Amino acid sequence: MILSIQSTAENILNNAENNPSIYLTILFALFELFVRLRPTTKNLSILAKITKLINVVLPNYSKEQAVKQAGKIIRKKFPY
């Protein structure tokens, strides 16, 4: 098990010479681990910021919220 993890990690690092995005991913993962393990006053997590951005672009509505929102829009467009 340990040898397979080590060989997988070695393969990833050897392929990183051809694909530098692997280094970037490793740096993001280490940063995320450091931020989550160390207490800070602000939320410095990259994943939290990405999640917040996705929620702004594509809000996650429940069915009841979507129906209520659609009713408000329809009443606003057709007030009679």
Domain ranges of the chain: 1-44, 45-80
Q: Scanning the structure block, which residue is given the tokens 């450091």?
A: 34
Residue 35 burial by Cβ neighbours in a 10 Å radius (0-12, 13-18, 19+): middle
Which residues in the chain come in under a pLDDT of 70? 1-2, 61, 73-75, 77, 79-80
Which pLDDT score, from 0 to 100, does residue 73 have?
67
pTM score, whole prediction: 0.52
What would the pLDDT profile of 15-37 be if each residue is shown by its tens digit? 777 888 888 888 888 998 888 88
End-to-end Cα distance, the chain: 70
CB proximity list for 32: less than 8 A, separation 6 or greater: 45, 46, 47
